């Protein structure tokens, strides 16, 4: 069995509203982590992100998914709920939200995940980035076609233009999910974060701060400090949120 430590933060940055949300739930076998970045204006985004987190966690807790395909279905059901909650003429009339969801089976040592939009999940092994999700965005498409490099995503003027997020018509929604559960090793670290964080912190910064951090809370705090320093020239910089899971071998019974 794996022992898990979780830490999270959500900061409104230089904005009037914090439209990010994150949360987690666990049973005696599963940990489910969800992070979302809402959009909609005048408070609609914060409603959308909270709704996405609450719905996914509630539905997962009722019937924990064992496969990525089941997790994808939960994201699509959550999309339907978000659309049904819209109210014309109010802040809720055009709600959207990115979402990323990570599930760890700490008895079987496996993980699976699904996402829509440009909120990311990073997977670290031995302190290095092993894998990450691929954004549903215009600039990620340009990277995939060889027009841009990964590093150019962070400074591209259209980096915030999404191809998909919750709130789209079901037939238009893109959800990416791992087809097979991935084996998790003791010492692996996972990070879920919104674009307000990863826009300022490249892989090298993530890895160097992780190597220096004594625990998850300290790492999250260092990431927040780094974002504030990097965004100091922008008085209205975006909300930023992060949730990290550190794994280790559980003590023998």
| CATH of residue 197 | 3.60.40.10
Number of folded domains in the chain? Answer: 1
Residue 168 lies in a domain: yes
Residue 210 lies in a domain: yes
Question: Mean pLDDT throughout 212-232?
Answer: 96
pLDDT at 165: 94
CA distances from 171 to 25, 32, 97, 164, 194 (A): 29, 26, 17, 11, 25
pLDDT at 241: 97
Residue 136 lies in a domain: yes
Residue 253 lies in a domain: no
Residue 251 lies in a domain: no
Residue 162 lies in a domain: yes
Residue 214 lies in a domain: yes
Residue 55 has pLDDT above 80, yes or no: yes
- Confidence (pTM): 0.93
Please give the residue range of the domain that contains residue 103.
Answer: 2-246
* 63 closest CA partner among 97, 99, 33, 27: 27
56-65, 144-153, 220-229: which has the minimum mean pLDDT? 144-153
pLDDT at 13: 85
Residue 109 lies in a domain: yes
The model's confidence at residue 42, banded by pLDDT at 50, 70 and 90, is low
């Amino acid at each position: 069995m794996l022992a898990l430590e979780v830490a999270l933060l959500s900061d409104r940055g230089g904005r009037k509203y914090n439209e990010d949300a994150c949360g987690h739930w666990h049973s005696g076998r599963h940990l489910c982590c969800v992070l979302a970045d809402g959009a909609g204006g005048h408070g609609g985004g914060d409603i959308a992100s909270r709704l996405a987190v609450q719905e996914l966690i509630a539905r997962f807790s009722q019937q924990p998914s064992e496969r990525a395909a089941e997790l994808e279905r939960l994201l699509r059901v959550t999309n339907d709920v978000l659309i049904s909650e819209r109210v014309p003429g109010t802040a809720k009339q055009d709600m959207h939200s990115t979402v990323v969801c990570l599930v760890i089976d700490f008895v079987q040592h496996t993980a699976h995940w699904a996402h829509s939009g440009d909120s990311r999940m990073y997977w670290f092994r031995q302190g290095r980035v092993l894998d990450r999700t691929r954004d549903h965005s215009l600039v990620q498409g340009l990277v995939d076609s060889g027009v841009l490099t990964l590093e150019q995503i962070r400074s591209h003027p259209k980096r915030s233009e999404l191809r998909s997020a919750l709130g789209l018509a079901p037939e238009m929604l893109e959800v990416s999910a791992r087809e097979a559960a991935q084996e998790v090793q003791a010492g692996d670290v996972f990070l879920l974060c919104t674009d307000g964080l990863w826009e300022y912190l490249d892989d090298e910064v993530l890895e160097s701060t992780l190597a220096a951090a004594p625990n998850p809370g300290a790492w999250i705090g260092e990431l927040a400090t780094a974002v504030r320093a990097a965004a100091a020239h922008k008085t209205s910089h975006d909300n930023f949120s992060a949730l990290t899971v550190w794994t280790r071998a559980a003590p023998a019974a």
